[in-house]
Chains A and B, each alone.
Chain A
Amino acid sequence: MKRTLRGKVHKYDKDNIDTDVILPGPYLKIHDHKELAKHAMEGIDPKFPEKVSEGDFLVTGNNFGCGSSREHAPIALSQAGIKAILSPSFARIFYRNSVDGGYLLPIEIDGSTVKKISDKDELEINLAQNRITNITKNEQYPMKPFPELIARIVESGGLMNYKPA
């Protein structure tokens, strides 16, 4: 995992964006990752996959990824190009799927930080310093550090490569 990520923001300022919206039920039978990417966020914005470039970020409201345990959701987002999601809170299974699968980073930020970031802003995320720089607005924000074990799994690029002590 690179220590610094840079990309453009796609902002969906809504709480409780659930996995039925992120990757709707009819596509659950699909297990081809590239095919899943075509349906990422279809329930909220069918044009989403066209808007995203590799390495971009999602900025959203509370409890992102609630609902079903489908790993299809972080897979679809990551395959569409999203490398980190910035939200005040995540639903637990979505969080662990994102980290353990090594798909993308669920980064917890304050609700006030969500307000400061606009759609299309360019951000740089420094994982070593737990700091987010808004290049467009020339602002800096804190992010919540990953708990120790999560940080190690992130470092390993997912649970597969992680060996418990």
Chain B
Amino acid sequence: MTITEKILARAAGKQKLSPDDVVFAKVDKVMMHDVSGPGVIKVFSEWEKKGVKLDHIWNPDSVWVTEDHFVPAADRVSAENVIALSNFTKKYGINKHFKYGLGQYGICHTLSHEEALVLPGEVYVGGDSHTNTTGAMGTFAAGLGHTDVAYVLMNGQIWFRVPETLLFKIEGNKPAHIMAKDIILQIIGDIGTDGANYKAMQFVGSVVKNLIMEERLTLTNMTTEAGAKNGIIEPDETTNAYLRERTDAKYSPMNGDADAHYSEVFTYEIEKLEPTVAKPFSPSNISAARELQGTELDKAYIGSCTGAKLEDLREAAKILKGKKVKIRTEVLPAAQSIYMKALNEGLINIFMEAGAVVGPPTCGACCGAHMGVLGKDEVCISTTNRNFPGRMGHVESKTYLASPLVVAASAVKGKITDPRDVKN
């Protein structure tokens, strides 16, 4: 069995599982935020109206909650959603509630690894499609909607159809101008936005082995854009070292069997990869950055669970150091802890001296919610994950998706630019 099949089998109490089996599996961790949380609260209230008793939940210690999409409160409604969330966590004794303006907080998928809330071998579900991100820790991590999260909060289990696994082997020596973002954009460009629908995407190979944890998380994060049920990387010494810095918690990692069956194997030689950009209006609509050289831009956005981890900020800062941006540029670190580390490393200074504005951690404009959304005809290059019509604002705005290196290089030139074409 693959790692995905083995984790699900253990959680379902089965000796063996195969793709297409539908099972109820025990859940180890569950997350909701200020968009899915109020949705879950709504489901709870509907169920109570129908006579379901909801005086306690399955296991408050296995649940954690973030405020990330509409913080700082974009308006009255979003402020009230956060109040409702606070009342809910208080009522049910959920202590892991990361509150805006009260110490550590940030984007849910960033906190899941930054705070080591989820561990290898676990089944982790969250009320957000990019829950896949955390699969880089060797976890089965999948996104669910409000009803499913509400069901897990009550029952500690949920049904899954066991996915077949697509295996991506990434081999070769990684050039300095290539980031994990370029790799995953290339893969989505090749297999399409439904290329992994209902399936698992697993990443292996010498490049993956040598990637630091934050870069691995970029690979699994965007498996969502290929329709995948989950993205996953088998845990290794890099995973263990990353966790040791953050937690003493014990865990029971899983690895796939030597004779595991993969429904398809894709091999990439990384030397051949170019810095890659996804054009409007699909993450699969890719071109080499150099082919788009000269495309005029209005704005650069460095933010989100995909592209504002510490490593993303470090890479962007390498380009921006000692330079000035030519277009509006926003940097929103993905969590308070990352903001602090970036401050201590001098990265925030570099961004501000370059002329960029640095904002608080939030999903913000990535999902078109607030904090820098795009107007009609505005063109943005962004380290985020989606560029559907209207994703970051007006339905006639345009978003190009790229790595932090490409976004920073483009901010300096005011046009889409390959990082190799910016002189130090």
Identify the A interface with B (CB < 8 A): 15-16, 18, 20-21, 24-26, 28-31, 43, 62-63, 66-72, 74, 89, 91-93, 96-97, 100-102, 147-150, 158-160, 164
Contact = CB atoms under 8 A, between A and B. Distances in A.
B39 interface: yes
A67 B36 contact: no
Contact of A93 (B69, B70, B81, B144): B144
Interface of B: 22, 24, 35-36, 38-39, 41-43, 47, 50, 52, 69-70, 74-75, 77-78, 81, 127-129, 131, 143-148, 151, 157, 159, 161, 193-194, 197-198, 227, 229, 282, 367-369, 386, 388-391, 395
A101 to B, nearest CB: 4
Nearest to B84: A31
A158 B145 CA distance: 13
Which of A30, A62, A89, A92: most chain B CB closer than 10 A? A92
B390 A24 contact: yes
Given A63-B193, A66-B194, A160-B52, A28 B147 contact: no
Contact of A21 (B43, B50, B388): B388
Contacts of A97: 145-148
Contacts of A62: 194
Contacts of B69: 28
Given A20-B386, A91-B227, A69 B128 contact: yes
Contact of B148 (A66, A72, A150, A159): A159
B151 A72 contact: no
Nearest to A99: B147
Contact of A160 (B147, B198, B229): B147
B281 to A, nearest CB: 9
14 contacts: A20-B390, A25-B369, A28-B69, A29-B77, A63-B197, A67-B388, A68-B386, A70-B145, A92-B197, A93-B129, A96-B144, A97-B147, A100-B151, A159-B147
Contacts of B36: 69, 71
A18 B43 CA distance: 23
A133 B81 CA distance: 44
> Closest 6 interchain pairs by CB?
A97-B145, A25-B368, A71-B145, A63-B194, A69-B129, A101-B147
B389 A20 contact: yes
Given A96-B148, A100-B148, A147 B367 contact: no
Contacts of B148: 96-97, 100, 159
Which of B161, B197, B227, B388: most chain A CB closer than 10 A? B388
Contacts, number: 129
Contacts of B52: 160
Contacts of A28: 35, 69-70, 367, 369
Nearest to A63: B194
Nearest to B79: A29
Nearest to A16: B193
Contacts of B151: 100, 159-160
Contact of A69 (B127, B386, B390): B127
Given A20-B391, A160-B151, A69 B145 contact: yes
Given A21-B388, A43-B389, A71 B369 contact: no
A71 B39 CA distance: 8
Contacts of A159: 147-148, 151
A42 B161 CA distance: 32
B194 A16 contact: yes
B14 to A, nearest CB: 14
Given A29-B81, A67-B129, 10 more contacts: A20-B386, A25-B391, A28-B369, A67-B386, A71-B146, A89-B194, A89-B197, A91-B194, A158-B147, A164-B157
A29 B74 contact: yes
Contacts of B81: 29, 31
A25 B389 CA distance: 11
Contacts of A72: 39
Nearest to B365: A25
A112 B231 CA distance: 32
A53 to B, nearest CB: 24
A21 B389 contact: yes
Which of A29, A67, A100, A101: most chain B CB closer than 10 A? A29
Given A31-B39, A69-B128, A160-B50, A100 B147 contact: yes
Contacts of A160: 47, 50, 52, 147, 151
B227 A18 contact: no
A100 B148 CA distance: 7
A95 to B, nearest CB: 9
Contacts of A16: 193-194, 282
A147 B70 contact: no
